[in-house]
Amino acid sequence: MWFHCENMATDLHDLRNAALGSPHGPQPTADGAWLAEARAMVADLSVPSPLIYWIDLAISASVGYAGLLLFAGAQWFTLEQAIYYAIAVLGLFRAGSFIHEVVHLRHNHLRAFRSVWNVAFGMPLLIPSFFYLNHLAHHNSHRFGTSDDGEYLPLASGSWGTLLEFLVQVPLMPLWVLGRFLLSPLTFIHPRVRRWSLEHCSSFFINIRSRFALPRNAPLARWAAIELACSLIAWGLVLPMFFDLPALLRADQVYAVAIGILTINYFRTFLAHRYRSHGNEMTFLEQFDDSTTIEGHPLLTELLFPLGLRYHALHHLFPTIPYHNLGIAHRRLMAGLPLDSPYRRTVFPNTWSAARSFWSDFRQARSNGEARRVLEES
pLDDT at 204: 85
Q: Delimit the domains of the chain by residue range.
A: 12-377
Provide mean pLDDT across the span 136-154: 85
pLDDT at 28: 45
- pLDDT category at 1 given cuts 50, 70, 90 is very low
For the entire predicted model, the pTM comes to 0.90
pLDDT digits (tens, 9 = 90+) for 93-122: 999 999 999 999 987 789 999 999 999 999
Provide mean pLDDT across the span 227-250: 88
224 has pLDDT over 70? yes
Provide mean pLDDT across the span 261-269: 96
pLDDT at 227: 97
369 has pLDDT over 80? no
- pLDDT category at 247 given cuts 50, 70, 90 is confident
pLDDT at 5: 37
pLDDT at 195: 93
241 has pLDDT over 60? yes
pLDDT at 188: 96
pLDDT at 208: 85
3-class SS string, the chain: CCCCCCCCCCCHHHHHHHHHCCCCCCCCCCCCCHHHHHHHHHCCCCCCCHHHHHHHHHHHHHHHHHHHHHHHHCCCCCHHHHHHHHHHHHHHHHHHCHHHHHHHCCCCCCHHHHHHHHHHHHCCCCCCHHHHHHHHHHHCCCCCCCCCCCCCCCHHHCCHHHHHHHHCHHHHHHHHHHHHHHCHHHHHCCHHHHHHHHHHCCCCCCCCCCCCCCCCCCCHHHHHHHHHHHHHHHHHHHHHHHCCCCCCCCHHHHHHHHHHHHHHHHHHHHHHECCCCCCCCCCHHHHHHCECEECCCCCHHHHHCCCCCCEHHHHHHCCCCCHHHHHHHHHHHHHHCCCCCHHHHCEECCHHHHHHHHHHHHHHHHHHHHHHHHHHHC
pLDDT digits (tens, 9 = 90+) for 7-56: 444 566 655 555 555 444 444 454 568 899 999 999 999 999 999 999 99
Identify the residue with better confidence: 150 or 371: 150
Provide mean pLDDT across the span 88-95: 98
